[in-house]
Amino acid sequence: MNAFLNETHHTLRSKVRDFAEKYIKPVIGEFEANEQFPVELIRSLKSLNLFGMHAPKKYGGQGSDYLSYIIAVEELARVDSSVAATLAAHNSLGVGPILEFGTEEQKAKYLPSLCTAENLWAFGLTEENAGSDAQGVETIAEEKEDGWVVNGHKKYITNGASEMSAGISFVAKTGTREDGRKEFTAFLVSKGTKGYTREFMKQKLLWRAADNGMVYLNDVHIPASDRLGARGQGIKIMLKTIDSGRLSIAAMGLGLAQGAYEMAVSFAKKRKQFGKSISDFQVISFKLADMAMKLETARNTLYNACWLKDNGHDYGTQAAMAKLYCSQIASDIASEALQIFGGAGLFRNDEYPIERFFRDQRLLSIGEGTSEVLRMVISRSILKE
């Protein structure tokens, strides 16, 4: 039970959990081991109506509240982070900025195909020298009579390179403001555009079945109609999008922690040492108790931030807190769960994939704002108050 949830939320959770257990869990290990993006598996999520689920129905979405979407990500991450990351990046970072900052023409053009599970959309901020420092972006867009010409690249872009990736929202430097500071503007570009190429990245520590790619923009022509938002508002659009994205990364942390905890409980009951289950030893049972407590606290923190967003309140600080805390407890619980497994947790095991969970949690304290940056965000907020 949770005070933030209603019957619709409970029904959605049950539906996504059943799907993940039946269709994702049995096969995802092979995709992960082969560093292969599971196209048909991702498209099969269509049956759950999870793509663009918080977009209005007139664009093909479900018009659901944000908490419903977060629960869906949480339940997918409980079984696998690569699949959860694909959905999270598509909805929060892909659909999100078009929905919030796009013109009516842009929404009508792009959103319907992004709500059907046929296409994915990416988000491009990170570069070689841009990440925590958003203003380090070096991609340049030059204005021409018939639009813009862009040159640059983006790095580590989720949903940026697979056959399902239909395009990307990105930010580029477009000049210098009157105060001497750099000016940044956001744009949309679709696959098939001349000069727009992608490269699938492999040899990753984690999320090996997710599409993380390099995106190259070489003399790419973008019509004026595909500028996203007002000129000079690019960084604002990117950072506002990341606020929402932090909630989905928090959901991934919560779901991964829940999955690791459940594996640890199951294994501790089965594993016997000194003639009894290791769950009977206080040192193990207390580890499990601490995990349960952290999960309860993380879930309430995340759901409260979602409630604030759904009800029109400022939620940026709470999103930062939720992302920071959920990523931390994912690390704590995955580590302690692996300790309970002992040597059995150090090898691939499709029944108990704790080895994969231990690797996958590592990105959560880096992506969508490092833990260090989030502490800066939170401290500035509380000191301002």
Domain ranges of the chain: 7-120, 121-233, 236-384
Tokens of 364: 């959560």
* Residues written for the chain: 385
Residue 129 is which amino acid? N
Is the pLDDT at 363 greater than 90? The verdict is yes
For the chain, where are the E strands, in sequence order? 120-124, 140-144, 147-158, 165-176, 182-190, 196-200, 212-222, 227-228, 272-273, 276-277
Tokens of 72: 């869906």
| Per-residue three-class SS string for 235-288 | HHHHHHHHHHHHHHHHHHHHHHHHHHHHHHHHHHHHCEECCEEHHHCHHHHHHH
Q: Does the domain made of 121-233 have the CATH classification 2.40.50.100?
A: no
pLDDT of residue 131: 83
Give the model confidence (pLDDT) of 116-148 as tens digits: 988 999 999 999 998 888 889 999 999 999 999
Task: Report the largest interatomic distance among the alpha carbons of the chain, rounded to a whole angstrom.
Answer: 80
Tokens of 207: 């999320």
Q: Assess contact for 168 and 123: CB atoms under 8 A.
A: yes
Residue 300 is which amino acid? N
Q: How far is CA 329 from CA 67, 342, 344, in A?
A: 20, 20, 22
CB-based burial of residue 109 (10 Å sphere; 0-12 exposed, 13-18 middle, 19+ buried)? middle
Catalytic residue among 7, 368, 372, 385: 368
Give the model confidence (pLDDT) of 45-73 as tens digits: 999 999 999 999 999 999 999 999 999 99
Is the pLDDT at 86 greater than 80? The verdict is yes
Is the pLDDT at 1 greater than 80? The verdict is no
Active site residue 368: yes
- Which of the listed CATH numbers 3.90.550.10, 1.10.540.10, 3.40.50.150, 3.30.2320.80 matches domain 7-120? 1.10.540.10
Distance CA 204, CA 379 (A): 32
Other Cβ atoms less than 10 A from the Cβ of 273: the count is 11
Q: Assess contact for 331 and 364: CB atoms under 8 A.
A: yes
- pTM beyond 0.85: yes
Q: How far is CA 320 from CA 56, 76, 306, 373, in A?
A: 26, 22, 12, 9
- Which of the listed CATH numbers 1.20.140.10, 1.10.287.990, 3.40.50.2300, 3.40.50.10470 matches domain 236-384? 1.20.140.10
Query: What's the rounded mean pLDDT across residues 206-224?
Result: 97
Query: What's the rounded mean pLDDT across residues 238-251?
Result: 92
Residues 6+ apart with CB under 8 A from 236: 229
pLDDT of residue 243: 85
Is the pLDDT at 332 greater than 90? The verdict is yes
Is the pLDDT at 163 greater than 80? The verdict is yes
Other Cβ atoms less than 10 A from the Cβ of 122: the count is 28
